[in-house]
Amino acid sequence: MTDVLLIGNPNVGKSTLFNSLTKSNAHTGNFHGVTIDAESKVIFIEKEEYKVTDLPGMYSLNSFSFEEEVSKNKVFELKDKASILVIVDACSLRKNLYLCLQLQELNIPFKILLNNYKEFSKRNKLDIVKLEHLLGVEIEIINAKKIKATKELFEIKKYKRELPYLVDIKQKSSESLLKDDEFVGLINDWKTEVVEKEEKIEKLKEEIVIARYNYIDKILNDSLEYDKNFIYGLSKWDKFITNPFVSLIGFILMFFLSIYFVFFIVGAFFNDKLVFCFENFVSNPMMNTLYLITDNIWIIEFFRQGVFASISTILGFVPQIALLFIMLTMLEDSGLISRMCYSLDDMLTSVGLNGKAVYIILMGLGCNTMSSLISRDMNEKNLKIKTAILNPFVSCSARLPVFIIIASAFFGQLSFLVVSGLYLLGLVVLLITAYILNKTILPTKSNDMMLEFPPLRFIDFKHLLIEGLKSIRDFLKRITGIIISMGIIIFILSHTKFSLMYTDNVMDSILYLISSKLTFLFVPIGLNNAGIVASLIVGILAKELIVSTFSVCNNAIGEKELIASLTLSTSLICLNKASAISFLIFSLLYCPCISTLGVIKKETSSFYMWLTIIGGFVVAYLISMFIYLTLTKGIFVSLIVGFIISLIFVSLIYLIKKVKHNKCLTCNKCKF
């Protein structure tokens, strides 16, 4: 089997090429750092096996972040046996050739695939044969979207090309008293660290970079006629879009309008149709067949409530969730996310995050698990931990059904404002918590941010459709996997007595009795209902389960029936306006789902995973209690409670700072 590695600068089209070669659907986007880990697929060409690997983008072999480290390690691991294809964006040739030169210095055989050549050739003229000769590397023009895998594409011709500047550098390195192996280490990945010669080495490293760029300029002068005023990534629209006021107003408007249209207009339209189809063509015929086959109440009720009721309630939200992902894909593909990162960097820096967090927050709107994983893109440890553990405050798509059902049940026409308010509350809590963490246990040491601006692009509708279908597929996988399996467990627990006998009355069930033991904890926030407590507990496994627990407990099939049941005092789970708001806030902010916790543990440590769980519960509890008390007992009582809580909180922060300060006095290394 031959290994094929796709490497190159970020956002040059590596994943697009990977998708074309392997006919896959790897996530692509017009943003720096979309691919965060290596992704491989085996393909066959004329009975020969090729393992194509898409690697995260890297500017050079001097890895600066976790993804670049992954790519670099893979290149060094397979440099002697793999076909290395370097994808180069023709429009930013100078910057892209830097990595090529590094590979050439190490005599690693590779081929340059020149992508985006059509756009480049509108303004520039490149003599490819001459460039091939000067670089000593084969160059092939490709269109990453349309190329097909061939044997010829993966064949690498080996050239031997001496790079003239290397002789000078070697001379200088021996003047700096570096041994030969230290020099190779320096060229390889900058890892030569000879402490006594540190200053000389740093100077040498700088000289190597300058020598490489001088050589690139020399070969481009010989082979390229180019428009010197052309700036890749900027368009005439950018003057307008990046205007601070326009971007701020634009983003706020976009936020509210998209929630309104996606969730309440377009989504609701498809929602009804989908539920109608499911009930008439799937659940009803299957239930009718089941009635003919058996009269066992366990089996009938299990399918009616445990399976079809849960699926029908959740399935209705597929259009909204697909539209949410399509919207995020639109933002990513158009290049607007980088503009948002730039515009919001100021604000985020002041709370100890930086502009890159915008991408992570936006991805969190889709799935918290995925966005916690992307936090590894942050190149400072505390910054990475903060983004990973705070990101669950962003409301993910799985919480959307809970919000829409409860908001529709209690706030009618105002439900749009309630849902928007919840999204905003999540963001505000994230920013405040980031600020507190920055001032206490996780101060950001280096907030440096440099982010390349991708060009604004028209939206590719085919890609949108693919991403939309992918989100539907993933969501259906979840509801057929977790929801059905957990639905079975919830159904059994909610319809079985402690004597293991079937019961129609959920109040006699194991689930209700266990939950009722914990209910006293939730009385101060207005959730004195065992069914609600049960739904919050199972919500830790997956947030979609909150709604399916509602359906099972209230014996309601479909969204409309469930909405109606929530306001009835005879239902097991019934709320009033104040407790509904309290529940919405609590479910927004409390512990993230188990898969997100797993990622947080993997990316940070067990301590931060527990901090996320406990911190989430505390924050959710305090805010819900404050709002609930304001709505029921009046602002005066809630202010007194709020004052006492703040006092405890401030004392706690002071205590943490004091402990840390004492530690610092003893270690004498840091200023606190």
Partner 1 sequence: MKLYEAKLNKQAKIISLDIENFNTKLRLMELGLIKGQTIKVFKKSLFRKTLLVVFNSACFTLNANLAKCIEVIYD
Based on the shown chain and the rule CB under 8 A, indicate whether residue 230 belongs to the binding site for partner 1: yes
179-218 footprint of partner 1 as x/- string (CB under 8 A): -----------x-----------x--xx--xx--x-----
Closest by Cα among 485, 482, 500, 353 to 430? 353
Stretch that binds partner 1, among 226-234, 474-482, 556-564, 635-643 (CB under 8 A): 226-234
Give the footprint of partner 1 on residues 22-51 (CB under 8 A).
none
Contact (Cβ atoms closer than 8 angstroms) between residue 584 and residue 406: yes
- Using CB under 8 A, which of 42, 248, 614, 637 touches partner 1? 248
Pick one of 129, 167, 177, 234: the residue that binds partner 1 (CB under 8 A). 234
Binders of partner 1 in range 330-369 (CB under 8 A): 338, 341-343, 345-347, 349, 354-355
DSSP secondary structure letter of residue 495: S
C-alpha 427 chain-centroid distance: 16
Cα–Cα distance, 490 to 499 (Å, whole number): 17
The three-class DSSP label of residue 85 is strand
Q: Could you give the CA distance from residue 286 to residue 288 in angstroms, rounded to a whole number?
A: 5
DSSP letter at 352 equals T
Helix axes 336-350, 244-259, angle to 10 degrees: 110
Q: What is the separation of C-alpha 484 from the centre of its chain, rounded to a whole number of angstroms? A: 26
Figure out which of the listed residues 452, 474, 508, 561 binds partner 1, where binding follows CB under 8 A: 452
Residue (457 or 658) nearer to partner 1, CB = 457
Among the listed residues 622, 667, 657, 651, the one whose alpha carbon sits nearest the alpha carbon of residue 442: 657
Query: Which is nearer to partner 1, 316 or 355 (by Cβ)?
Result: 355
Q: How far is the CB of 202 from partner 1 (least distance, A)?
A: 6
Which residue in the set 49, 64, 237, 659 belongs to the binding site for partner 1 (CB under 8 A)?
A: 64
Q: Which residues contact 55 (CB under 8 A, 6 or more apart)?
A: 5, 6, 7, 14, 35, 38, 70, 71, 74, 75
Query: Which range of residues in 93-101, 152-160, 390-398, 633-641 is near partner 1 by CB under 8 A?
Result: 93-101
Cα gap 200→192, rounded to integer Å: 12
Shortest distance (Å) from residue 217 CB to partner 1: 10
Is the Cβ of residue 23 or residue 123 nearer to partner 1 in the bound state?
123
CA–CA gap between residue 526 and residue 512 (Å, rounded): 18
Instruction: Show the site string, 546-585: x = touches partner 1 by CB under 8 A, - = not.
Output: ----------------------------------------
CA atoms of 671 and 269, how far apart (whole Å): 59
242 or 595: whose CB is closer to partner 1?
A: 242
Closest distance of CB 213 from partner 1, Å: 6
Question: Given candidates 232, 403, 512, 590, which one binds partner 1 under the rule CB under 8 A?
Answer: 232
3-state secondary structure of 65: coil
Of 231-239, 534-542, 553-561, 645-653, the segment contacting partner 1 by CB under 8 A is: 231-239
453 binds partner 1 per the rule CB under 8 A? yes
Residue 357 CA to residue 392 CA, distance in Å, equals 13
- CA-angle at 300, arms to 319 and 296, nearest 5°: 170
Residues 98-117 that bind partner 1 (CB under 8 A): 98
Looking at beta carbons only, is 191 or 658 nearer to partner 1?
Answer: 191
**Alpha-carbon span 540 to 452, nearest angstrom:** 38
Cβ 65 to partner 1 shortest distance, Å: 10
Q: Which is nearer to partner 1, 233 or 524 (CB)?
A: 233
Q: Is 449 in the site for partner 1 (CB under 8 A)?
A: yes
**Among the residue ranges 228-236, 317-325, 549-557, 624-632, the one whose residues contact partner 1 (CB under 8 A):** 228-236
User: Given the rule CB under 8 A, which of 109-117, 366-374, 445-453, 642-650 is the region that contacts partner 1?
Assistant: 445-453
Please, which residue, 124 or 496, has the CB nearer to partner 1?
Answer: 124
Nearest-approach distance from CB 379 to partner 1, in angstroms: 9
Sign of CA dihedral 576, 262, 244, 246: negative
Q: Does 161 bind partner 1 (CB under 8 A)?
A: no
d(CA 625, CA 637): 11
Q: Does 94 sit near partner 1 (CB under 8 A)?
A: yes
Q: How far apart are CA 459 and CA 435, in angstroms?
A: 36
Residue 244 binds partner 1, judged by CB under 8 A: yes
CB-nearer residue toward partner 1: 234 or 299: 234
Contact flag: residue 415 with partner 1 (CB under 8 A): no
Question: Which one of 194, 266, 451, 653 is in contact with partner 1 (CB under 8 A)?
Answer: 451
Nearer to partner 1 by C-beta: 253 or 640?
253
In angstroms, the CA 672 to CA 94 distance is 44
Residues that contact partner 1, how many (by CB under 8 A): 45
Under DSSP, is residue 144 helix (H, G, I), strand (E, B) or coil? Answer: coil
Nearest 10 degrees: CA dihedral of 465, 469, 475, 478? -150
**Binding status of residue 447 toward partner 1 by CB under 8 A:** yes
- Cβ burial of 575 (10 Å; 0-12, 13-18, 19+) is buried
In the complex, what is the shortest distance from the CB of residue 187 to partner 1, in angstroms, rounded to a whole number? 14
Report the residue from 109, 136, 185, 233 that binds partner 1 according to the rule CB under 8 A.
Answer: 233
Rounded CA separation 242/208 (Å): 35
* Angle formed by the axes of helices 318-334 and 267-278, nearest 10°: 140
Among residues 532, 562, 587, 511, which one has the least CA distance to residue 312?
562
Of the candidate residues 30, 92, 395, 548, the single one contacting partner 1 (CB under 8 A):
92
Do residues 382 and 444 touch, judged by C-beta distance below 8 A?
yes
Classified as helix, coil or strand, 83 is strand
245 lines the binding site for partner 1 (CB under 8 A): yes
The owner of tokens 């959740």 is 314
Pick the closer one to partner 1 by CB: 358 or 613.
358
> Toward partner 1, which CB reaches closer, 310 or 354?
354
Given phi > 0 = left and psi -120 to 50 = alpha, else beta, which region is 35? beta
Q: Which residues bind partner 1 (CB under 8 A)?
A: 59-60, 62, 64, 92, 94-95, 98, 190, 202, 205-206, 209-210, 213, 230-234, 238-239, 242-245, 248, 338, 341-343, 345-347, 349, 354-355, 446-453
